[in-house]
A = this chain, B = another copy of it.
Amino acid sequence: MRVGLDVGGTKIDALALGPDDEIVARTRIPTGWGDHAVVTAVHDAIDALAAEGGFATADVVSVGIGIPGLVDAEGGRVLHAVNLGVADLDLASAVRTRLLVPVAVENDVKAAALGAGSLRGDAHSMAYLNLGTGVAAGIVIDGRLWRGARGTAGEIGHLSVDPGGRVCGCRQRGCIETFCGGGAVARAWGRGGALPILDIFDLAEAGDPLAAELRAGIAYGAASAVRCLVLSADVETVVIGGGVTALGDRLLGDLVRRLRLEGEGSAFIGSLRLDERIELLPAGSPAAALGAALVGAARMNAHEGAIHG
């Protein structure tokens, strides 16, 4: 069994891949806060998965973990995961102390990109754009993650697209994330609520001016992200997921309309057919956990290559 875990701020989505790449078990358990709790939750998730799938943890041959934040993928360390209370954690070693198998750790958006490509059955040239609390993309070319020279490929959330825009958490103004990141939008909204993005969409329809401005901004930010990915890396397809996409077709509709409008206004942008190159990751998609499993399996293969090669 190749295990993949998507460690989120509130839950871990865990799955096990069988020999024919089929998902043989999938389960979700709550995530903890801080180093110790995260490691415990990861162990618990693997146990729960084994129970769910009816296999022994000794049948696990590799583990891949996707986690939000800054990751040293080579060393298996989580260097900065604010939402999990982790500053520097050797997560791969912590898992290997219990399971003596190759363990790989990857940024969750990059893992999701790999998983989304695998689920599409075409990972030739695509990006996964995550509209979560923050905004980032993972780029997959010929079935492989494109990391770039220093690992920042796809970090387009912090590209400024409005010098007069709101101040971002990174201290720049008008970053793409200030327009379509769930955290920044909720702060700009400022009225609380469990689902601020849903409130914004609803109240925009009811004529609330701030809601209408923020809703238009979400489409503008997401459209800017898609334009950036196509005009720089020129990926064929942009798959969009993350918490903000829980709105589903309402969000997609706004974005498609925005991209069409931009295409009608500019023949050059129109020729890119951006509205036809986007798709939403379905709700509940196992992309992130699946991608994590693939990252873990790749680590196992590299390991075996080093032994037998």
Contact = CB atoms under 8 A, between A and B. Distances in A.
Interface of A: 124-125, 139, 146-156, 158-164, 168, 170-172, 220, 224, 227-236, 262, 265-269, 272
A90 B152 CA distance: 40
Candidate in A146, A161, A236 with the most chain B CB atoms within 10 angstroms: A161
B233 A159 contact: no
Contact of A163 (B124, B154, B161, B170): B161
13 contacts: A125-B149, A149-B234, A149-B235, A149-B236, A150-B272, A152-B234, A158-B266, A159-B224, A170-B268, A171-B268, A229-B232, A232-B233, A233-B233
A171 B265 contact: yes
Contacts of A159: 161, 224, 227-228, 231-232
Nearest to A176: B231
Contacts of A150: 234, 236, 272
Given A155-B231, A156-B231, 19 more contacts: A124-B149, A125-B149, A148-B235, A149-B234, A149-B235, A149-B236, A150-B234, A151-B234, A153-B234, A154-B231, A156-B228, A159-B228, A162-B162, A162-B164, A164-B164, A170-B269, A171-B265, A232-B232, A233-B233
A269 B147 CA distance: 17
Determine how many copies of this chain the complex contains: 2
A159 B160 CA distance: 11
Candidate in A154, A224, A230, A272 with the most chain B CB atoms within 10 angstroms: A230
A294 to B, nearest CB: 21
Contacts of A153: 232-234
Contacts of A269: 158, 170, 172
Contacts of A236: 149-150
The 3 A-B pairs at the shortest CB distance, nearest first, are namely A148-B234, A149-B236, A232-B232
B231 A172 contact: no
Contacts of A262: 172
A148 B124 CA distance: 10
Given A164-B164, A262-B172, A158 B232 contact: no
A128 to B, nearest CB: 14
B266 A171 contact: yes
Nearest to A150: B234
Contacts of A125: 148-149
A227 B139 CA distance: 17
A198 B301 CA distance: 57
A50 to B, nearest CB: 38
